Chains A and B, each alone.
Chain A
Amino acid sequence: DAGVIQSPRHEVTEMGQEVTLRCKPISGHNSLFWYRQTMMRGLELLIYFNNNVPIDDSGMPEDRFSAKMPNASFSTLKIQPSEPRDSAVYFCASSSTSGRYQETQYFGPGTRLLVL
């Protein structure tokens, strides 16, 4: 299994630009999570989906952030417009609601975002 795949791995952009982060969950997993990690705030859950439906987006910091999951194998997290304080590592994780390791979250390698 390829695990959770995220792209790009690194992104450097200028303030005001749109940023799109992509995630492919583990095949067969039906839950997907977006996290943000910074030195100051640690690991924060932004939003999670179950069966492609957003369940809890209370962690999304502002309207500049949006997330979609058009199908079971793809999700995007968009920041528009981006700001320097959005600089962080963004992780995607997925889990399954069935099976021996149900609900255990498996993380992708992360996207390191730097907004200048």
Chain B
Amino acid sequence: GEDVEQSLFLSVREGDSSVINCTYTDSSSTYLYWYKQEPGAGLQLLTYIFSNMDMKQDQRLTVLLNKKDKHLSLRIADTQTGDSAIYFCAERPGGYQKVTFGTGTKLQVIP
């Protein structure tokens, strides 16, 4: 079945860049998502990328996709304390509604 893996924890200093990595196994993945979950809250969609794209930039967020290696990354520039949260990578094949989520990466931003 589909599998999405992430490292569990990342710690960075305020102002530095954060890079959260994700690998997936489903070669038919068409849509790849990044969600953010703050403490006590639901998942909030941050950004998404189609599999025919290599990169997508949205303000401080940059998503890179290496489809050959099935590797997705989220870069947060100038990381702020408000970025502290759990970040979930997720994938969905085209034509299907079921999304497979990763285990989540807890980002800790040190002031």
A48 pairs with B97, CB closer than 8 A: yes
A106 touches B97 (CB 8 A): no
Q: Report whether B98 and A105 are in contact in the complex, using a CB–CB cutoff of 8 Å.
A: no
Query: Given contacts A95-B97, A103-B31, A104-B33, is CB(A42)–CB(B103) below 8 Å?
Result: yes
Count contacts between A and B, CB distance < 8 Å.
40
Chain B residue nearest to A3 (CB atoms) is: B42
- Chain B contact residues, CB within 8 Å of chain A: 31, 33, 35, 41-45, 48, 88, 92, 97-99, 101, 103-104
Could you list 11 A-B pairs, sorted by A, with CB under 8 Å?
Answer: A42-B103, A42-B104, A48-B98, A55-B97, A56-B98, A91-B43, A97-B97, A103-B31, A104-B33, A107-B43, A110-B41
A residues near B (Cβ < 8 Å) are 4, 31, 42-43, 45, 48, 50, 55-56, 91, 93, 95, 97, 103-110
